[in-house]
């Protein structure tokens, strides 16, 4: 049964059954579930003003946070422009995350074909899902709450980005956080309670989650909170979930602010460009809403929070970027800034492996996509509350990392299932796998119990770029991922594959009869299995994103960093009244999942903007 149809049938069945049994408790649970989704939903502003103090373009992981924080100042007016609509009942269910890709709440980007990457995928293109919905990719993602390594941020500061050291940014992680796992929340030096963003472990785990952590201990790693003092180790992950449901930035930050009269949210509004005058002052935004082209002015600032793909695209459409490229697509140059769209970084992942097991304990679709699971879900338990199969995280060191430094170069994301778990219903399409590859390699073992350790190169040296396809704001940009173009990345990834194999051989996993599926991968049949050459072939065939695109509007000191786009206060070089606030400003991608760091960036930006304008207003009042 298709998942959306299943959900409708399940909700109808639950309501009918509950009403028929006249169970006050069950009926109350059903009402509570529906109310939890509907209560506090945002309203699409109907009558927009002609001018606002701040216009924020993009209501995602960063934009929703920033709109909430800036509208705390009652005297400031804030317009948040979002190309998508509202979250759905399906997107609220953590276990349904994989079914959100390739829908109308996904921008459905794809990389351009390039040698040596994505070779087993249709047209040799990697799918890059991004959220086109209020809450952005925090509505589409797998909800993992990961901060990165302290060395990441200290590196930013060392490069001249004042105010971005780990000591500087840690308070902003804590500010957002409402950590509901007492054994972690008690560490007040690293965790917060009472913030707007709910963070907790998923209510449901399979026995494989414990096996993963135990396997790590067998290999000599500690079971620890990798978001605290030290990162190297294994842990049961926390996610941005609340009572078994997704806690997006829209739910966490915008719903509490929805009644503020100074905050307007314009949904289904597609930004065309930023208005920039001849004095290089940003003064407004052009966007389409309801088949009408609107021009709305910004008295103080325009802020781009459209993400690592959308923000550089909008800058280029507005005439800010490499003049040669802008001229080639017919965009009038407003300011030369060659770093726009450059320095693209992403966490390359090796997602194609399958480890088979003998026990029926993993996430096999036919066992959990059923009425009973939905009934359990409305009671805040069961497999639909899980982080879509992600049950463990680890940060480990390959032979290329410094053994004496807490700066691991490899992350393992443990999935209590694999590509075969849904029989090709969604994961195959999400990764854009060729039908022939699926049929030859995966179909013979479809729906069998399995697990997967996804290796991730934490600090890739391969860097891509984004270009405009044309001057049309509706044309998706050209994305060149450049995966594995630096030889060190493939070397680190190969070692990650070997660590996954070592995990499988531990006593913890051998209890389940774990073994690596040993059929040669299509395109690699002539190579000896499990050799470095075989693993390299495998990875170049099945290259995938971990959805962590970043760094395309790099923060840096322009005199030292020729590709810098914004300064340490996130102001776009050469254009007054324009900032970028999202993952694109990262000088280098952090050593972990990027949603929590993006929220942190927005929290810090909110304070930077408040400090700037409160001081300006105070000085004007003193005159």
Reported as a single tens digit per residue, the pLDDT across 95-128 is: 999 999 999 999 999 999 999 999 999 999 999 9
Query: Could you give the 3-state DSSP secondary structure of residue 1?
Result: coil
Mean pLDDT of 583-600: 98
Strand bridging mode 233-235 / 197-201: unpaired
Q: Is 589 annotated as a binding residue?
A: no
- Cα dihedral across residues 153, 155, 158, 159: positive or negative: negative
Those residues with Cβ within 8 angstroms of residue 129's Cβ, 6 or more apart along the chain or in another chain: 100, 101, 102, 106, 107, 108, 109, 137, 140, 430, 547
Residue 12 in this model has a pLDDT that exceeds 60: no
- At 620, is the pLDDT very low, low, confident or very high (cuts 50, 70, 90)? confident
Q: Which long-range contacts (CB under 8 A, 24 or more apart) does 284-288 make?
A: 284/55, 285/55, 285/57, 285/81, 287/57, 287/81
Mean pLDDT of 568-582: 98
pLDDT at residue number 621? 74
Q: Which residues pair with 201 in a beta bridge?
A: 238
Within 10 angstroms of residue 292's Cβ, the number of other Cβ atoms is 8
Residue 169 in this model has a pLDDT that exceeds 90: yes
Strand bridging mode 177-179 / 197-201: parallel
pLDDT digits (tens, 9 = 90+) for 400-438: 999 999 999 999 999 999 999 999 999 999 999 999 999
Over pLDDT 70: what percentage of the chain?
Answer: 93
pLDDT digits (tens, 9 = 90+) for 438-447: 999 999 999 9
Closest to 543 (Cα-Cα) out of 587, 493, 612: 493
Residues known to be catalytic? 548
Mean pLDDT of the chain: 94
What Å distances lie between residue 557 and 157, 303, 567, CA to CA? Answer: 11, 20, 6
pLDDT at residue number 369? 85
Strand bridging mode 233-235 / 390-396: antiparallel
Closest to 602 (Cα-Cα) out of 1, 33, 68: 68
pLDDT digits (tens, 9 = 90+) for 437-476: 999 999 999 999 999 999 999 999 999 999 999 999 999 9
Using alpha carbons only, what angle is made at residue 164 by residues 400 and 314, rounded to the nearest 5 degrees? 95
pLDDT at residue number 623? 64
- At 576, is the pLDDT very low, low, confident or very high (cuts 50, 70, 90)? very high
pLDDT at residue number 301? 98
pLDDT at residue number 63? 98
pLDDT at residue number 6? 55
Mean pLDDT of 30-39: 59
Query: Could you give the 3-state DSSP secondary structure of residue 127?
Result: strand
Residue 388 in this model has a pLDDT that exceeds 70: yes
What Å distances lie between residue 600 and 139, 264, 383, 586, 596, CA to CA? Answer: 17, 23, 30, 12, 6
pLDDT at residue number 617? 86
Question: Does the domain formed by 42-87+133-191+262-339+558-623 have CATH 3.40.228.10?
Answer: no
Mean pLDDT of 145-161: 98
Q: Contact, 441 vs 522, CB < 8 A? A: yes
Query: Could you give the 3-state DSSP secondary structure of residue 313?
Result: helix
What Å distances lie between residue 207 and 212, 363, 514, CA to CA? Answer: 9, 11, 13
**Gap between the Cα atoms of 562 and 568, Å rounded:** 15
Q: Contact, 313 vs 467, CB < 8 A? A: no
Residue 34 in this model has a pLDDT that exceeds 90: no
pLDDT at residue number 22? 45
Residue 572 in this model has a pLDDT that exceeds 70: yes
Those residues with Cβ within 8 angstroms of residue 81's Cβ, 6 or more apart along the chain or in another chain: 55, 56, 57, 58, 59, 266, 269, 271, 285, 287
| Conformational region of residue 65, where left means phi above 0, alpha means psi within -120 to 50, and beta covers everything else | alpha
User: Residue 401 phi/psi, 5° resolution?
Assistant: -90, 155
Q: Contact, 594 vs 583, CB < 8 A? A: yes
**Gap between the Cα atoms of 353 and 190, Å rounded:** 35
Using alpha carbons only, what angle is made at residue 363 by residues 357 and 365, rounded to the nearest 5 degrees? 120
pTM over 0.75, yes/no: yes
User: Which DSSP symbol is given to 220?
Assistant: T
What is the total residue count of the chain? 623
pLDDT at residue number 21? 47
Largest separation between any pair of C-alpha atoms in the chain: 79
Render the burial of 133-154: b for 16+ CB within 10 Å, e for the rest: bbbbbbbbbbbbbbbbbbbbbb
pLDDT digits (tens, 9 = 90+) for 319-331: 999 999 999 999 9
Concatenating the DSSP letter of every residue in 501-561 gives HHHHTSHHHHTTT-EE--SPPTT-TTSPTTSHHHHHHHHHHS-EE-S--B-TT-BS-TTT-
Determine which of 88-92, 266-270, 354-358, 599-603 has the lowest per-residue pLDDT on average: 88-92
Strand bridging mode 578-580 / 292-304: parallel
pLDDT digits (tens, 9 = 90+) for 517-540: 999 999 999 999 999 999 999 999
Those residues with Cβ within 8 angstroms of residue 475's Cβ, 6 or more apart along the chain or in another chain: 468, 469
- Looking up tokens 């509706």 gives 474
**Gap between the Cα atoms of 263 and 261, Å rounded:** 6
Strand bridging mode 282-289 / 390-396: unpaired
Domain spans of the chain?
3-38, 42-87+133-191+262-339+558-623
């Amino acid at each position: 049964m298709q998942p959306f149809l299943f959900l409708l049938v399940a909700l109808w069945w639950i309501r009918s059954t509950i009403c028929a049994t006249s169970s006050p408790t069950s009926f109350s649970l059903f009402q509570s579930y529906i109310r939890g989704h509907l209560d506090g939903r945002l309203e699409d502003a109907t009558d927009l003003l002609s001018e606002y103090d701040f216009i924020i373009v993009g209501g995602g992981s960063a934009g929703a946070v920033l709109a909430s924080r800036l509208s705390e100042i009652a005297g400031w007016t804030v317009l948040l422009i979002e190309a998508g609509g509202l979250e759905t009942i399906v997107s609220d269910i953590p276990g349904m995350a994989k079914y959100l890709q390739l829908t109308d709440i996904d921008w459905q980007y794809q990389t351009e074909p390039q040698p040596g990457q994505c070779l087993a995928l249709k047209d040799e293109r990697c799918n890059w899902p991004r959220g086109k919905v209020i809450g952005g990719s925090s509505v589409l993602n797998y909800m993992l709450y990961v901060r990165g390594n302290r060395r990441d941020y200290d590196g930013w500061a060392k490069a001249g980005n004042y105010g971005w050291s780990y000591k500087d940014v840690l308070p902003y992680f804590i500010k957002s956080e409402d950590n509901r796992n007492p054994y972690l929340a008690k560490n007040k030096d690293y965790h917060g309670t009472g913030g707007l963003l709910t963070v907790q472990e998923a209510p449901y785990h399979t026995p494989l989650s414990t096996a993963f952590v135990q396997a790590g201990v067998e290999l000599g790693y500690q079971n620890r909170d990798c978001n605290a003092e030290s990162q190297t180790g294994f842990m049961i992950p926390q996610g941005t979930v609340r009572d078994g449901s997704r806690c997006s930035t829209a739910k966490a930050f915008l719903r509490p602010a929805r009644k503020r009269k100074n905050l307007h949210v314009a949904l289904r509004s597609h930004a065309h460009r930023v208005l920039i005058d001849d004095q290089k002052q940003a003064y407004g935004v052009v966007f389409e809403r309801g088949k009408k082209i609107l021009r709305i002015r910004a008295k103080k600032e325009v802020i781009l929070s459209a993400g690592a793909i959308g923000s550089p695209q909008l800058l280029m459409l507005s005439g800010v970027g490499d003049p040669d490229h802008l001229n080639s697509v017919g965009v009038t140059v407003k300011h030369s800034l060659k770093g726009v769209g450059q320095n693209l970084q992403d966490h390359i992942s090796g997602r194609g492996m399958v480890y088979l097991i003998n026990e029926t304990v993993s996430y096999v679709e036919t066992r959990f996509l059923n009425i009973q699971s939905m009934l359990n879900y409305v009671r805040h338990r069961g497999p639909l509350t899980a982080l879509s199969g992600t049950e463990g995280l680890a940060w480990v060191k390959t032979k290329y990392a410094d053994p004496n430094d807490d700066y691991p170069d490899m992350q393992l994301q443990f999935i209590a299932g694999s590509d075969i778990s849904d029989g090709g219903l969604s994961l195959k399409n999400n990764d854009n796998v060729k039908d022939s590859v699926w049929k030859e390699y995966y179909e013979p073992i479809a729906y069998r119990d399995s697990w997967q350790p996804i290796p991730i190169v934490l600090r890739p040296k391969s860097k891509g770029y984004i270009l405009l396809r044309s001057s049309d704001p509706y044309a998706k940009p050209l994305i060149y991922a450049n995966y594995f173009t630096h030889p060190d990345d493939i070397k680190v990834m190969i070692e990650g594959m070997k660590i996954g194999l070592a995990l499988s051989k531990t006593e913890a996993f051998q209890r389940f009869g774990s073994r690596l599926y040993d059929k040669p991968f299509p395109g690699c049949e002539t190579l000896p299995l499990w050799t470095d050459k075989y693993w390299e072939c495998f990875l170049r065939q099945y290259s995938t994103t971990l959805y962590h695109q970043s760094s395309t509007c790099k923060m840096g000191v322009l005199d030292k960093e020729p590709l810098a786009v914004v300064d340490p206060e996130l102001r776009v070089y050469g254009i007054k009244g324009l900032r970028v606030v999202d993952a694109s400003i990262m000088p280098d991608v952090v050593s972990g999942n990027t949603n929590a760091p993006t929220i942190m960036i927005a929290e810090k930006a909110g304070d930077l903007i408040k400090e700037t304008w409160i001081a300006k207003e105070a000085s004007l009042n003193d005159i």
